Amino acid sequence: MAHVAKAIGAAVAFHRHSHITIRSTRRLYSSCRAIYNPIVQIKEEGQPQTLDYRVFLVDQSGKKVSPWHDIPLHLGNGVFNFVVEIPKDTSAKMEVATDELYTPIKQDTKKGKLRYYPYTINWNYGLFPQTWEDPSFSNPEIEGAYGDNDPVDVVEIGERQRKIGQILKVKPLAALAMIDEGELDWKIVAISLDDPRAPLVNDVDDVEKHFPGTLLAIRDWFRDYKIPDGKPANKFALGNKAANKDYALKVINETNDSWAKLVKRSIPAGDLSLL
């Protein structure tokens, strides 16, 4: 199939072992199998802040499913699923393990040691499922930068701290084009629909009005977080400013198309897990 069918379902906030009903469309790319409706819950393996710690999603039968590939992106009407990797006000650098079976969430490592940000992150941070920043594509609008080989990052600006593995319904508001050591690393600014201020914000100008200083704070946080480790500051394209909602939607749709090509194996997957 050239394009995945949009899945419309309910994605609700949940804690460990709480349930969420989703529609998964992943295999439509490769086999045109019928859409299935697993009941998904969080399953933790190992202890937090250890090398073995993993956060999996499992269906009702106990089968593991991928937060990257099996959670649908589109919910319709400009609403998308967002998977939390790093809760607000924490510093452990959690991320989907794109090279492991079922792509669980784990704590990143460097030279065998667990990684932490030098300071806590002020927003819920995670990914849009079924997106991929293609490392073989040079984006002419972003200084010719190539994708970073990961799902698209999301910064959720709502007031509540969420949980690792939690799935939220969000609406995109803005996009920041970060360039990290030459690679394009999009940051989509979004808000969960259940946040009290969600009805007030629908585009980048609304964020400035109702969350004053937030877009600048997000940019500066991601620009500077590597400096304490002796690395240079990250850069931002598009005039060093946040692009509007329409641009954010363009990024989401383009990276969803790239993911579709990846899972169809139209593009080499390398070490990435497609299961």
Q: Which residues are catalytic?
A: 117
Give strand ranges (E) for 97-166: 105-107, 109-110, 113-114, 124-127, 138-139, 145-147, 153-156
List residues bridging with 243 in a β-sheet.
Answer: 175
Residue with tokens 């529609």: 23
- Residue 57's nearest CA partner among 37, 42, 39 is 42
Backbone angles phi, psi at 149, to 5 degrees: 70, 25
Q: Are 208 and 231 in contact (CB under 8 A)?
A: no
Burial of residue 4 (number of CB atoms within 10 Å: 0-12, 13-18, 19+): buried
Instruction: Name the nearest CA neighbour of 258 among 156, 147, 109.
Output: 147
Candidates 240, 208, 30, 56; CA nearest to 142 is: 240
222 closest CA partner among 186, 258, 251: 186
**Could you tell me which residues come within 8 angstroms of residue 104 by beta carbon, excluding any fewer than 6 positions away?**
45, 54, 55, 56, 64, 67, 96, 97
